[in-house]
Structures are given as structure tokens and as C-alpha cells.
């Protein structure tokens, strides 16, 4: 079947800066995809990488594929494409399959049940106190994610950890995310402080993505979740037996991730890469499926970090028209 690919660039600012050990994220730039088949059906996708280089590679790949192509041609290319582009094209094909072969009902997800991502530009203690009070009223998620710095001797942060544990209710869970910024020594220091802490859900990507040996070693002492390592070394998705943070918008064809999530022993946790409404349809659907799995836990959708407006509508046609 012949397909026509239409492309629109988009950009937006997060509602606040996200400061991580790897840098600052404030602006998102990407591409919206619309694929039309010969029967007049439409598929919708989004190319929304974090790294500028991946967006450039995605644009080059789209130029190579061309405006007119076929479903078989795209399917053959998907495994070779940047993850963000494979997500966008795979989303489009899933839409078209839903119309012509099988009905795929993209479930919504109550983002209030998502992990609360602490703001990184203000005092985390203030944010936690406020969120705990609000969560009791709104019955929202009892899981908090704290992004920490990469500084070796950040005594202020270590003191903050103790204060967080002092005020965190017993029914809450804490996730700590250094974004691969710690050394083995620093990771061990934090593990020594936290290994008997029942409210710690896991430490996410404590070491650089390439330090696979170190990550496996730490995982024998305390729950460790991988993120960046899974993107750089996809084979770990099959060999890492603990929690896996998967950002669908960076992960490749979402149809494959859906199959993984629905396995009984899946320890996959869906996380956002800050998408428009087109990409968020799939992220929310995968999150909804994830929480129904054998090991459910709160996905990381960062509610409130993207602005409001038509670019974030659940209707892909309205998102397309808004750009």
C-alpha cells in the first residue's frame, strides 16, 4: 500500500526548567508526522528526542525514506532508525492498522496517579510538604521522584535526603534519579544510607550508561532501575532483570513495547520525554497497560511540566492543525 508522509516541526517550552546532572531541559523541539494511505486513512506520530543530534539523524532518515513510500518499506527500515523516529513512524502504522486490520483502543491514563516529579529549581522539601498535603486531599500518587546532581561532595543534597526521609509519610515511595551522574564511590555512599530504607523504591541510573558492570554490582545491594543504559545498549532490555524505565518516545516502535509490557514478569515503567498530544496518546496508553501488569507501579508522566493548549490535545488532528 502506498503512503504519503507529511511533516510539521513543533516546539514548546516546559512550564519550568528541568535541571539534571546531564544538563538543563527547557525547550522541546521535534516533528509531527501524518501518514496518509491510498484509502484516505491517516496515521499520526511524533518525533520527540531529547538530544539534538538524534533529531538531526531523524530528519536525514526521513529525507532518505522520501515523501512517498510503502508500509513494507517503513517496516523494513524501523529497526535501523533512531529510536525517536521509529516511535513516530510505528505510531502512524499502528493507527493505520487499527483502521484496516484490528481495532486498537488507546486507553487514557489519570496523570494524577503518576509519579510526582519534584521541581529542580526550588527547595525539594517545600515541594514535598505541599504535595503530601495535596495528595491526601486528591488521592493522587504516593510516589515522588527526586533528580539529584552529579557533584561528588554535595553535602547539602545529602543533608536534604535525611530531611526528606524525616517528613516523608510511611505510605509514600521515593525514587532517586542521578541521571547517570554518580561515580561508583558516590553511589555506594548513598546506598549505605538507603539500603535499609523501606520507602526507597529504587535508585534510577546511578552510574554512567556505559558502566554496566558497576550497575549490575549495585543491583545486588539495592533496587536499581535502568534508563539511559537501555537506550544506549538495547540488549539490556532482555538481560536486566530489575526495573526498566522506558520512555516510549525514545524507545522505538511502540507496538513492540506494548507486547513487552503485557508479559506477566514485566518490570517496565513508562516515563515521559515531554511529548505533544500526539505522542502522549501512546505514552498514556502504555502507562495504562503497565499499571495493569503483574508488577504495577506508578508511571512517570510528569504532570504539569508541559504547558496547556491545543498542542497537547488528545485529538491528533487538532494537534496537527495547531502547529
Closest CA to 232 of 214, 255, 250, 206: 250
Least confident of 118-132, 141-155, 220-234: 141-155
Calculate mean pLDDT across residues 257-286.
92
Mean pLDDT across the chain? 91
Instruction: Indicate whether 11 pLDDT > 90.
Output: yes
pLDDT in tens, 51-109: 999 999 999 999 999 999 999 999 999 999 999 999 999 999 999 988 655 556 677 77
Q: What percent of the chain has pLDDT over 90?
A: 79
Amino acid 116: pLDDT: 93
Q: What is the pLDDT of residues 21-32, one digit of tens each?
A: 678 889 999 999
Q: Is the pLDDT score of 19 beyond 90?
A: no
Collapsing DSSP to helix, strand or coil, 33 comes out as strand
Cα(321)–Cα(323) distance, integer angstroms: 6
DSSP-derived pairing of the beta strands 200-204 and 224-225: parallel
> Is the model's pLDDT at 264 over the cut of 90?
no
Extended strands (E) in 247-311: 268-270
Report the Cα–Cα distance between both ends of the chain, in Å, rounded.
Answer: 28
- The x, y and z cell numbers of residue 295, run together, are 508488577
Overall average pLDDT of the 239-249 stretch: 95
**pLDDT tens string 166-199:** 999 999 999 999 999 999 999 999 999 999 999 9
The x, y and z cell numbers of residue 156, run together, are 547539602
Q: How far apart are CA 267 and CA 245, in angstroms?
A: 9
219 — pLDDT class (breaks 50, 70, 90): very high
SS in 3 state form for 51-96?
CHHHHHHHHHHHHHHCCEEEHHHHHHHHHHCCHHHHHHHHHHHHHH
Per the rule left: phi > 0, alpha: psi between -120 and 50, beta: everything else, 295 is: beta
Q: What percent of the chain has pLDDT over 70?
A: 95
What is 115-179 written as a DSSP string?
PEE--SSS-HHHHHHHHHHHHHHHT---EEEEE----TT-HHHHHHHHHHHHHS-TT-EEEEE-T
Does this model's pTM top 0.85? My answer is yes
- Structural domains in the chain, sorted by start: 2-105 (3.30.390.10), 111-290 (3.20.20.120)
Amino acid at each position: 500500500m502506498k503512503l504519503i508522509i507529511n511533516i510539521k516541526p513543533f516546539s514548546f517550552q516546559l512550564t519550568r526548567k528541568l535541571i539534571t546532572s546531564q544538563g538543563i531541559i527547557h525547550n522541546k523541539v521535534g516533528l509531527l508526522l501524518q501518514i496518509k494511505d491510498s484509502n484516505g486513512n491517516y496515521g499520526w506520530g511524533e518525533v520527540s528526542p531529547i538530544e539534538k543530534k538524534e533529531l538531526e539523524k531523524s530528519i536525514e532518515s526521513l529525507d532518505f525514506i522520501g515523501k512517498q513510500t510503502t508500509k513494507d518499506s517503513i517496516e523494513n527500515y524501523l529497526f535501523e532508525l533512531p529510536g525517536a523516529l521509529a516511535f513516530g513512524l510505528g505510531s502512524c502504522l499502528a493507527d493505520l492498522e487499527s483502521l484496516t486490520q484490528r481495532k486498537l483502543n488507546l486507553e487514557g491514563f489519570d496523570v494524577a496517579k503518576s509519579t510526582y516529579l519534584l521541581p529542580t529549581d526550588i527547595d525539594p522539601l517545600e515541594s514535598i510538604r505541599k504535595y503530601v498535603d495535596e495528595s491526601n486531599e486528591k488521592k493522587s500518587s504516593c510516589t515522588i521522584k527526586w533528580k539529584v546532581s552529579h557533584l561528588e561532595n554535595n553535602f547539602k543534597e545529602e543533608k536534604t535526603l535525611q530531611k526528606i526521609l524525616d517528613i516523608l509519610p510511611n505510605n509514600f515511595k521515593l525514587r532517586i534519579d542521578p541521571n547517570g551522574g554518580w561515580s561508583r564511590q558516590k553511589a555506594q555512599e548513598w546506598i549505605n544510607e538507603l539500603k535499609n530504607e523501606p520507602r526507597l523504591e529504587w535508585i534510577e541510573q546511578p552510574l554512567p550508561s556505559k558502566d554496566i558492570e558497576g550497575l549490575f554490582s549495585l543491583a545486588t545491594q539495592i533496587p536499581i532501575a535502568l534508563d539511559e543504559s537501555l537506550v544506549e545498549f538495547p540488549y539490556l532490555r532482555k538481560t536486566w532483570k530489575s526495573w526498566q524505565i522506558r520512555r516510549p518516545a525514545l524507545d522505538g516502535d511502540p507496538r513492540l513495547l506494548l507486547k513487552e509490557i503485557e508479559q506477566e514478569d514485566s518490570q517496565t515503567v513508562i516515563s515521559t520525554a515531554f511529548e505533544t498530544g500526539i505522542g502522549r496518546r501512546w505514552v498514556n496508553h502504555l502507562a495504562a497497560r503497565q499499571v495493569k501488569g503483574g508488577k504495577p507501579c506508578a508511571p512517570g508522566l510528569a504532570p504539569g511540566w508541559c504547558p496547556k493548549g491545543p498542542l497537547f490535545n488528545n485529538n491528533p488532528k487538532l494537534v496537527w492543525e495547531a502547529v
